[in-house]
């Protein structure tokens, strides 16, 4: 069974329609079951409204709230999905809440069963071993993540000026393992734990491989397939 993860540098449901088409297409279903996790922004209503506006007509759309009184059967609900979409926000807070409720293990189990996992920003980097984050304040810092995918990750590579130099510095210093960065409007598509391709809904957006070298860090651009 194929296992898919799409890690987006910066996007949201409905923000880049070609990306929506792409991730939904990976499910192989005409009307897939899709669950949105907005934990990283505290399950704010505006993000949920945006998700339903983009997905309700074409999918069996639902969401999972973890603030207040969580629903019963969270694990079962996640395992019933064809696609789980994780929004951006505070990565550290999101991971902490997931671990408190066992959502981290449920997501791993869902992925192992073939549920497509997708997300942007915090929802992109959470799948890796580690990432660079602004979860702890204005200064970017390393964070340990779920470890479904090897290496580290960095979103917003072309839109936030401190991302590129900080990610390169942390990889060069060995504070983060070698990894991948991705521009806004682009996504890293993994099949299993291997990078299959980079896709983009924005012309010129791409991914990057960043590796440690004797003199610092080496950055290799990864051209993207532009989505129609």
- The catalytic residues are 121, 156
Strand partners, 143: 131
- Evaluate whether 32 touches 127 at the Cβ level (below 8 Å): no
Query: 3-state DSSP: the chain helix, strand, coil percent, rounded to 5?
Result: 30, 30, 40
The pair of structure tokens assigned to 223 is: 């051209």
Please identify which residue in the block is written with the tokens 């917003």: 156
φ, ψ at 101 (rounded to 5°): -105, 5
> DSSP letters of 142-193?
EEE---SEEEEEE--TTTSTTHHHHHHHHHHTTSS-SEEEE-TTEEEEEETT
Closest by CA position to 187, among listed 198, 172, 178: 198
> β-strands 83-86, 33-37: how paired?
parallel
Q: Residue 174: left if φ>0, alpha if ψ -120 to 50, beta else—which one?
A: left
């Amino acid at each position: 069974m194929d296992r898919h993860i799409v890690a987006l540098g910066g996007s949201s449901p409905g923000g880049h329609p070609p990306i929506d088409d792409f991730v939904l297409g990976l499910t192989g279903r005409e009307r897939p079951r899709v669950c949105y996790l907005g934990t990283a922004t505290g399950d704010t209503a505006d993000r949920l409204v945006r998700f339903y506006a983009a997905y309700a007509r074409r999918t069996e759309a639902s969401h999972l709230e973890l603030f207040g009184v969580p629903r019963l059967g969270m694990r079962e609900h996640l395992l019933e999905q064809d696609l789980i979409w994780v929004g951006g926000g505070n990565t550290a807070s999101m991971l902490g809440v997931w671990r408190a409720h066992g959502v981290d293990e449920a997501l791993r189990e869902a992925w192992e069963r073939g549920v497509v996992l997708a997300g942007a920003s915090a929802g992109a980097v959470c799948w890796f071993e580690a990432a660079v984050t602004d979860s702890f304040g204005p200064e970017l810092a390393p964070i340990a993540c779920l470890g479904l995918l090897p290496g580290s990750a960095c979103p917003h590579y072309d839109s936030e000026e401190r991302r590129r130099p900080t990610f390169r510095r942390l990889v060069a210093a060995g504070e983060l393992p070698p990894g991948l960065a991705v521009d806004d409007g682009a996504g890293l598509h993994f099949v299993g734990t291997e990078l299959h391709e980079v896709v983009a809904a924005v012309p010129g957006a791409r991914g990057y491989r960043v590796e440690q070298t004797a003199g610092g860090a080496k950055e290799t651009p990864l051209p993207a397939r532009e989505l129609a």
